Amino acid sequence: MIVGGRLAFISDHEGTGNVYSCALDGSDLRRHSDHEGWYARQASTDGQRIVYARGGELWLLDDLRAAEPVRLDITLGSTVRGRAPRLVTAEDHVGSLSVDYGGRASSIEVRGTVHWLTHRDGPARAVSVVPAIRARFPQVLGTGGRVVWVTDTDGSDALEVGPSDRLAFLRRVIVTLRVAKL
């Protein structure tokens, strides 16, 4: 985009997508936004200002000289029905799954969470349900009742291992602690 006689663009060369500009000959590189986490995206200009999206919000950069970007406070109007909460079923959001050795249960991913589902009677149990942390690609490990999955707990992907049945795991821990006290 040509903005105020400069070439403005979005780049992630420093790790996160931000708004930059340079002189038309490529010199004098400047960074105009300082966002971490969510990338600046879909920038547009009227020749003087830049509007862009970041994490579901709209931001305005008034000029490229000294202005800081400002989050635009926009309230979207819609019908009451469009704003009403709705139940999201797992049926449309099932990711990967892994069946246990005996074929009696599966570890399954649903919307970034991992669950243990028995194939006959019995409740579904949450293995990894942590807000703002994504868990995916669960795999049952051997016959010992453990599951491994990919998580982004620390910001980058890592493997996490846990019991398929947290209640059974807690019971084992309590019994172990009782035996240790004796």
**Domain count within the chain:** 2
12 and 62 share one domain: yes
Q: Which one of 72, 98, 122 terminates a domain?
A: 72
Whole-number pLDDT of residue 40: 92
Q: Answer yes or no: is 136 within a domain.
A: yes
Considering the entire predicted model, what is its pTM? 0.46
Q: Answer yes or no: is 77 within a domain.
A: no
Q: Answer yes or no: is 85 within a domain.
A: no
Q: Which one of 41, 72, 103 terminates a domain?
A: 72
Domain that holds residue 30: 2-72
Report, as ranges of residue numbers, the positions in the chain whose pLDDT lies below 70. Answer: 165-182
134 and 103 share one domain: yes
Q: Which one of 72, 99, 134 terminates a domain?
A: 72
Q: Answer yes or no: is 114 within a domain.
A: yes
Whole-number pLDDT of residue 176: 46
94 and 67 share one domain: no
3-class secondary structure per residue, the chain:
CEECCEEEEEECCCCCCEEEEECCCCCCCEECCCCCCCCEEEEEECCCCEEEEECCEEEEECCCCCCCCEEECCCCCCCHHHHCCCCCCHHHCEEEEEECCCCCEEEEEECCEEEEEECCCCCCEEEECCCCCCEEEEEEECCCCEEEEEECCCCCCEEEEEECCHHHHHHHHHHHHHHHHC
